[in-house]
Amino acid sequence: MHRVGVLGGTFDPPHVAHLDLAEAARDQFGLERVLLVVAGDPWQKRGQVEAGARERLAMVEAAVGERPGIEVSTVEVDREGPSYTVDTLEGLAEPGTELFLILGADAAATLDTWRRPERVRQLAEILLADRPGAPASAANLADRLRADGWRCEVIEMAPHDVSSTELRTRLARGAPVGPDVPPGVVRVAEERGLYTRP
């Protein structure tokens, strides 16, 4: 079986916590590759996303660089309409492939609001990571999900207290973002005039 991780998000902008999460999942669960899936039309965050889909895609490509086993997927950017995880998983599902959906505990706590969560449960095992500010720990949430029939494991890693909102504010001010944002991401944001404010 090919073991493939799926880490979706708006990536507005992408930062080191995204990359560390992808690598931790890859290493701990023997994933052959982890796909960073950039949301084209993130329906649950409408009105909150600043950079366009193609700009966010370019930033993720710059962030990933040559990291082994970490790849960028355009599946949701290329697809018209709202970006639903269930559609992405159905498109990736094929014989001989085992899918692992990588989530922070904050996102996993809202699974019941997703489109066709019962189908998501059939298609992928959930890999959970702790997130600052999440309503429950990854371990507690994993126990609840398993009780509801989900296949679920916990990624062992220290949570990063990195906020995309704060990073956008710092980029808009021209303030340094230090080690939180890969230099390639900063370069793309500057070249494309992202996060600038009047």
pLDDT tens series, the chain, 198 aa: 999 999 999 999 999 999 999 999 999 999 999 999 999 999 888 889 999 999 999 999 999 999 999 999 999 999 999 999 999 999 999 999 999 999 999 999 999 999 999 999 999 999 999 998 888 999 999 999 999 999 999 999 988 888 899 999 999 998 999 899 999 999 999 999 999 865
Q: Which residues pair with 127 in a beta bridge?
A: 102, 153
Q: Indicate whether 194 belongs to any domain.
A: no
Look up the domain containing 60 and give its range: 2-189
Q: Distance between CA 72 and CA 70 in Å, rounded?
A: 7
**Taking a C-beta distance cutoff of 8 angstroms, is the pair 58, 188 a contact?**
yes
- Residue 90 has what DSSP assignment? H
Angle, CA of 68, 134 and 185, to the nearest 5°: 40
Q: Indicate whether 196 belongs to any domain.
A: no
Q: Which residues pair with 102 in a beta bridge?
A: 127
Cα distance from N-terminal residue to C-terminal residue, the chain: 52
Q: Indicate whether 78 belongs to any domain.
A: yes
Q: Indicate whether 136 belongs to any domain.
A: yes
CATH number at residue 27: 3.40.50.620
pTM of the model: 0.95
Q: Indicate whether 195 belongs to any domain.
A: no
Domain total of the chain: 1
